[in-house]
Structure formats: C-alpha cells, structure tokens
C-alpha cells in the first residue's frame, strides 16, 4: 500500500470509528496471549509484500486443537497449493483471547476455526489493532462457513464453501439490539488496513474474482457478519471484492447495464430476488419472502445498497426498492456468472 492511499483510507475510516467494546482479560500483546494458550508460533512474512503475521504451528501433541482437515480441492494452476476460489469475511463477537481459545480448543466435536484472525485494539490490554494471526495453514480446510452457498458452491465435503473459500475473522463485538434495530460495533481503522493488505495478497496469489469475496451473511441466512459497517467500498477501491462506483451506479439507474429487462417501475421483490439468485445468492426466488430470503435481502443491503448506513436498512420493507434493484442489476451485468 502506498502511503497516500493508506492515509486516505485511514482518514475515511476515522469518520466511522468508535471505541472498542472489548475489555481484554489480560494486559498482554499477541505473543503473550499465544503463549498463555500454550500455542507454538513464529513470526513470518506472508505474500509478495512480506506482510508480517503470527503463524501458529499445528499441534502434534494434542491434534484436536487443530481445527482443520485436508479436504481441499487442488488448484488447477498451482498443483502444490489448494485451489481457493474465494474469501469469506467474518466477525468474531468475542475478544481476541476468547477467539483464539475457541479456535484452538482441545475438543473432539464442534470445532470451529478460520485461516486468519485480524485484531482490533482492545481496552485495558496491550493488543494492537491490525495484527494478523494465521491459525490454519493455507493447505488445509478451515471450518468457518457452516451450511452455506454461493454461485452454485454449496453442500459439504469437497463441494462445500469450506473447501473452496478461505476464512478471515475480524475481532469485533458484532451488534446489540436496541429499539428494535441492530446497533453494530464499528471496525478499527488499523484493523481494516491490515485486512485489506492481507486480502490483496490472497486475491493476487489465488487469482480470486471480485464476486467471490463475500461476507458470511451473504452465503447463509443464519449469520449477520461482517455486518453493514464493514467498509466494502474501501476494499473494492484496493481491488478486493465486488462493488459499484458512484458513476456505475448512476449509469445503471438510467439504465446503462445491458440487462435483459429494464428495472420495474415500482418496487418488485420478484425482480430483486431473481437478480440476487442470478448474481450468486443461494436462494429460491420463487419462494418470495421466506425468512431465508428476507435475511439474504438484508445481507445484500448491508453489503451494497446500504453499506456503512445501517439505519438506512428498512425494518419491515423487504421488497426491492429502486436503489436495491439498481444495485443488483448493475452487479449482475458487471460480474456475470461463469
């Protein structure tokens, strides 16, 4: 990242940043926490930019602490590496210590994990924002997505999201419920800068298409992370993920995109769901407003049409607004399915 771009992103993020909700249980930095949890680790460099990370070694004495397996599809272009097709972005809800404890717990069932964790500054602790911890080797399948689907990739085993998508967790408190609305915790600017740098490397290394950088809420109705305060436009400006620029969005509204049908004159849930399915969301547009489809519409709004504006997400309006339909028609045209 150039210093000019970094400063502009940092300044932009400063407008939305708030205080962390976490209070660390220990006054320790990342190395001390890893040591406290009896994890073996070393400082390494990741990718062409030599991004510094903490790499946790596989546990040989207690293999149940390794929350991953070998079921990975070999790459078509890189025979010695997994063929990662995408990235799923998450938030942890837990603070760093509890996140690492959960992802390395010595249990035989119910293990969860993610390839990388990006830290947030934590109150009353010496945990800096923007530290990157690798818990699962790139050659292994982490257990982060659960039952989910995207662009025809779904199910379990070698066909599932976990076998095709790397997982990246961001330490973040998630949301609280207040006055019938979710109030989301903001992300740390340094955390976002580090995540962008990491995802730039992953995208470049595995030639990941923009439409395959998604949120957990994009691929399943069961989850809400990373939420509408995850700054997708900032990632897009650095070549990570799909988005529409203001120019593209205004053109799509006139309409500019070569779609088979014009935008409906009024609000249309049928159009919205049909085009969301065409773009990649794992839904049945014929089912209309099922709980699953409603949740995925909300995820779409948090990612695209209402990103960084959670209060703009309607509480009870689930049909496609003009803004929603402009976004999804533009995305379908700009990022067609293979």
Cβ–Cβ under 8 Å, residues 118 and 132: yes
Closest by CA to 316, choosing from 329, 297, 300, is 297
Note whether 74 and 120 are same-domain residues.
Answer: yes
User: Among residues 181, 205, 237, which one ends one of the domains?
Assistant: 237
| Alpha-carbon distances of 267 from 87, 109, 161, 260, 324, rounded to whole Å | 32, 46, 32, 18, 9
**pLDDT at residue number 83:** 79
- Give the pLDDT score at 160: 84
Q: Residue 179's pLDDT is what?
A: 87
What is the pLDDT at residue 2? Answer: 37
CA distances from 163 to 84, 85, 145, 221 (A): 8, 9, 10, 20
313 and 213 within one domain = no
pLDDT in tens, the chain (338 residues): 433 344 455 555 554 444 444 444 444 699 999 999 999 999 999 999 999 999 999 999 999 999 998 765 555 444 555 579 999 999 999 999 999 999 999 998 989 999 999 999 997 568 999 999 999 999 899 999 988 999 999 865 556 899 899 999 999 999 999 988 999 999 999 999 999 999 999 999 999 999 999 999 999 999 999 999 999 999 999 999 999 998 888 765 545 555 556 778 888 999 999 999 999 999 999 999 999 999 999 999 999 999 999 999 887 777 778 899 999 999 999 999 97
* Alpha carbon 300 to its chain's center: 13
Q: Residue 40 in contact with residue 227, Cβ under 8 Å?
A: no
The reported pLDDT for the residue numbered 3 is 37
Backbone phi and psi for residue 318, each to the nearest 5 degrees, phi listed first: -110, -5
Same domain for 65 and 26: yes
- Per-residue pLDDT, 126: 85
Domain with 323 in it: what CATH number?
Answer: 1.10.101
Same domain, 61 and 159: yes
326 and 223 in a common domain = no
Q: What are the respective helix, strand and coil percentages of the chain, to the nearest 5? A: 35, 15, 50
DSSP-derived letter for residue 333 is: H
Number of structural domains (the chain) is 2
Residues 206 and 268 in one domain: no
3-state secondary structure of 174: coil
Residues 194 and 294 in one domain: no
Q: Residues 324, 226: one domain?
A: no
Q: In this structure, are 64 and 114 located in the same domain? A: yes
CATH number of the domain where residue 125 is located? 3.40.80.10
Dihedrals phi, psi of 82, to nearest 5 degrees: -70, 150
Q: Within this chain, do residues 89 and 212 fall inside the same structural domain, yes or no?
A: yes
pLDDT value of position 305: 96
d(CA 187, CA 12): 12
**79 and 62 assigned to the same domain:** yes
Domain boundary among 214, 237, 260: 237
Give the pLDDT score at 158. 57
Domain that holds residue 252: 246-334
Q: Are residues 222 and 295 in the same domain?
A: no
Q: Look at residues 185, 209, 237 and tell me which one is the last residue of a structural domain.
A: 237
* pLDDT of the residue at 23: 46
Options 122, 131, 169, 298, the catalytic residue: 169
Give the model's pLDDT for residue 26. Answer: 42
User: Which alpha helices (DSSP H) does the chain contain, by range?
Assistant: 3-14, 30-36, 96-103, 189-206, 216-219, 232-237, 246-252, 269-279, 291-303, 322-334
SS3 213: strand
- Establish whether 42 is a catalytic residue: no
CB atoms within 10 A of CB 100: 23
């Amino acid at each position: 990242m150039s210093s000019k771009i970094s400063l502009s992103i940092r300044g932009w993020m400063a407008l939305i940043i708030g205080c962390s909700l976490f209070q660390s249980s220990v006054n320790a930095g990342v190395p001390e926490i890893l040591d406290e949890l009896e994890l073996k680790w070393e400082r390494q460099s990741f990718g062409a930019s030599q991004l510094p990370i903490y790499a946790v070694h596989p546990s040989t004495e207690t293999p149940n602490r390794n929350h991953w397996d070998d079921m990975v599809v070999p790459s078509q272009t890189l025979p010695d590496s997994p063929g990662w097709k995408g990235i799923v972005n998450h938030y942890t809800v837990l603070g760093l210590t509890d996140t690492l404890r959960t992802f390395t717990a010595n249990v035989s069932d119910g293990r969860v994990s993610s390839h990388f964790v990006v830290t947030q500054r934590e109150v009353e602790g010496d945990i800096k924002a923007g530290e990157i911890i690798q818990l699962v080797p790139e050659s292994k399948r982490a257990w982060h997505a659960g039952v989910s689907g995207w662009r025809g990739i779904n199910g379990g085993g070698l066909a599932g999201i976990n076998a095709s998508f790397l997982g990246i967790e961001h330490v973040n408190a998630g949301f609280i419920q207040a006055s019938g609305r979710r109030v989301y915790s903001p992300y740390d600017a340094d955390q976002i800068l580090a995540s962008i740098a990491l995802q730039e490397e992953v995208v470049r290394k595995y030639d990941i298409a923009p439409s395959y950088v998604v949120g957990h809420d994009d691929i399943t109705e069961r989850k809400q992370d990373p939420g509408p305060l995850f700054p997708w436009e900032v990632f897009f400006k650095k070549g990570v993920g799909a988005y529409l620029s203001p120019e593209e969005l205004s053109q799509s509204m006139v309409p500019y995109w070569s779609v088979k049908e014009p935008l409906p004159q009024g609000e249309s849930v049928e159009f919205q769901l049909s085009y969301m399915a065409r773009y990649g969301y794992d839904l049945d547009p014929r089912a209309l407003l099922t709980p699953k489809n409603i949740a995925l519409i909300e995820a779409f709004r948090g990612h695209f049409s209402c990103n960084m504006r959670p209060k703009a997400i309607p509480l009870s309006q689930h049909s496609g607004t003009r803004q929603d339909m402009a976004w999804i028609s533009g995305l379908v045209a700009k990022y067609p399915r293979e």
